Amino acid sequence: MKTAQETRTIAAPPARKISCGHQYRWAIFLLIAALAMAVRLPRLADRPMHTDEAVNAYITGQLLSGEVYRYDGRDRHGPALCALTLPIARAAGARNLAGLDERMLRLVPVIVGALAVLLFVTVARETGMIAATIAALLWAFAPLPLYYSRYFIHETLFAAATLGLISFGWRAIDLGSLAYGLAAGACAGVMLACKETALLNYAAVGAAAVWWLFDARHVRNEAVGRAPVHWSRVLVAVSAASAACLLFVLLIYTWGFRHWRGPLDLLESFPHFLRRASGEGHEKPFWWYWKLLANGYSGGALLALALLGGVNIGCKATQPERLDPESEHGPNASITLRLFLVYTVAICAIHCAIPYKTPWLALNLWLPLSVLTGCGCSALWRWKKSALFRGILVVAVVALAFAIGRDTRLLVFLRASDERNPYAYAHTVDDLLRLPERLDRLALKHPAGRNMRIAVVSADAWPLPWYLRKFPNTGFWQPNQDPGLADLYLTSPEAAERIPNRIEGRRPEFFGLRPDVLAILWCKEQGGSE
């Protein structure tokens, strides 16, 4: 039987010295966030608008014009990205679609991507400062998150909210904190306000929660004893999170309680979302994401470090845990890391099993894998404390940093819309940037100027609505429809065969739309007028 003195010794772990990393934690992450912003801002308008960006821009333009947001679950996503964009667009003077430009729109994911670095502060207590800092640096400078942080799509905001849900959610349950519970619920609401695919991430979080309920009901730590689960704390945290999530989803999908059909439309979209998971032309094999993540000079090394980090966490699950005097881990760090590992395995399995795959969805895998990569580096650092080994490790990390920089420069800036870039998926080609310039020249010669009538005939005209936004008399037709008389016709090759009487006597000019997809401009020899 233990004496009272022995019990007190077990219940109170020895105080640990506050490390320099802990003391200056916020300063370090604020610096990384500032650097992340700096690397994301240059040349925002150089890359042509992807179709998905153009669709989001069109919706934003409608909202700027005063329309109420109405959710369309057939081939659209939630309103969160557009809602965040509206204040910036209005502050810049935009009042409709014609007033928007690429820099204005892409500034939102740039800001979100930079600020998301600060969320890694919330995992530093569990992973340690080394792992959290490496994960934050990867988010800031690795090619995949940097590329899509300069894309006017939902993925960057979605990934940031996912990290917030995981970190705030565990803190809420562990501490019984109402504030953390509300923060976790808000993050869950933002996820669903971004994309219906939030259901997949919820399922992965649920898998981690089930594991915790059955296998981690007590904190196993010889230094602090066995702490039982406080179910009242769990109930408070889950209730607060659920209420916050529900309120946010209602607020955003009703567009400020002005369109009450919105939440019902969201529910009705789930069957379509499940059907779409079968592929719809985007079918890929289960291993496709791993090939994508291993791309470049740095991808394979990062995956290897993530595997090392995961194995290290998994192996510690079967061993008694002791506080490492060199570590900043909190007393519940090990169970938190195992929860994160279960989530990582679950979300990777879900997305690999689903046939529908696009490169931006790889952010769902990349985010937890980056944290495991940081854990792998931290494990190597603590494995051997000899100066020689750590010196070799530092040299290897520096070499890896140069490889990441090379990949980022090539994929994010030099080949942003190149077919050889695996992230530029079904991307608009640079050649389309000639089209607005050509139309402006034709407008100068036309009596109506930019008010000349343009008929676009194509089964899939995107992103042409974006590039024709400054020509108000532009209409869009399907190939089986007659567009009537127009000053200019812009068609796909297939549609041109359907309207020979409309384009007879006109000269064709060819513009690349997407890889192996052309748009044909039909205009008169004299300025394009009838």
DSSP 149-217: TTSSSSHHHHHHHHHHHHHHHHHHHHHT-HHHHHHHHHHHHHHHHH-TTHHHHHHHHHHHHHHHHHH-S
Give the single-character DSSP code of 18.
Answer: P
**Residues 22-50, mean pLDDT to the nearest whole number:** 92
CB under 8 Å to 455, separation ≥6 — which residues? Answer: 474, 475, 477, 483, 484, 486, 488, 489, 490, 502
Query: At which residue do the structure tokens 């934003």 appear?
Result: 60
| Cα 481 to Cα 23, 231, 399, 456, distances in angstroms | 68, 63, 58, 11
**Residues 298-322, mean pLDDT to the nearest whole number:** 80
Could you tell me if 458 and 479 are in contact, meaning their C-beta atoms sit under 8 angstroms apart?
Answer: yes
Q: Report the b/e string of 490-519 with b at 16+ CB within 10 A.
A: bbbeebbebbeebbeebeeeebbbbeeebb
The pLDDT, as a whole number, for residue 112 is 96
Q: Report the b/e string of 166-177 with b at 16+ CB within 10 A.
A: bbbbbbbbbebb
With a cut of 50, say whether residue 43 has pLDDT above it.
yes
183-197, 261-275, 296-310, 441-455: least confidently modelled range: 261-275
> Predicted confidence band at 415 (pLDDT cuts at 50, 70, 90)?
very high
The pLDDT, as a whole number, for residue 336 is 78
Provide the mean pLDDT of the chain.
Answer: 87
| Cα 521 to Cα 197, 467, 499, 506, distances in angstroms | 38, 13, 13, 9
Give the single-character DSSP code of 321.
Answer: -
Bridge partners (DSSP) of residue 226 are: 220
pLDDT in tens, 235-247: 888 889 999 999 9
CB under 8 Å to 251, separation ≥6 — which residues? Answer: 257
Q: What is the secondary structure of 215-262 as a DSSP string? A: H-SEEEETTTEEEEP-HHHHHHHHHHHHHHHHHHHHHHHTTTTT-TTH
The pLDDT, as a whole number, for residue 9 is 40
> Predicted confidence band at 4 (pLDDT cuts at 50, 70, 90)?
very low
The pLDDT, as a whole number, for residue 429 is 94
pLDDT in tens, 445-476: 999 999 999 999 999 999 999 999 999 999 99
pLDDT in tens, 159-208: 999 999 998 988 888 777 889 999 999 999 999 999 988 999 999 999 99
The Cα–Cα gap between 1 and 455 comes to 89
Instruction: Write out the two tokens for 267.
Output: 């529910």
Q: Sign of the C-alpha dihedral, residues 25, 29, 30, 31?
A: positive
The pLDDT, as a whole number, for residue 10 is 38
3-state secondary structure 328-349: CCCCCHHHHHHHHHHHHHHHHH
Question: Measured at the alpha carbon of residue 68, what is the angle toward residues 188 and 50, in degrees to the nearest 5?
Answer: 70
Domain boundaries, the chain: 17-414, 430-523
Peptide bond into 331 cis (omega under 30): no
The Cα–Cα gap between 80 and 189 comes to 10
Amino acid at 6: E
The Cα–Cα gap between 47 and 231 comes to 52
Could you tell me if 112 and 84 are in contact, meaning their C-beta atoms sit under 8 angstroms apart?
Answer: yes
CA–chain centroid gap for 469, Å, is 27
The Cα–Cα gap between 140 and 149 comes to 9
pLDDT in tens, 392-406: 999 999 999 999 999
The pLDDT, as a whole number, for residue 229 is 62
The Cα–Cα gap between 172 and 393 comes to 36
The pLDDT, as a whole number, for residue 76 is 77
The pLDDT, as a whole number, for residue 217 is 54
9-18, 274-283, 355-364, 371-380: least confidently modelled range: 9-18
**What crossing angle do the helices spanning 155-175 and 198-215 adopt, rounded to 10°?**
20
Query: At which residue do the structure tokens 């909190």 appear?
Result: 330
pLDDT in tens, 418-452: 999 999 999 999 999 999 999 999 999 999 999 99
The pLDDT, as a whole number, for residue 266 is 86
The pLDDT, as a whole number, for residue 440 is 95
Could you tell me if 50 and 428 are in contact, meaning their C-beta atoms sit under 8 angstroms apart?
Answer: yes
Instruction: Write out the two tokens for 122.
Output: 């919330």
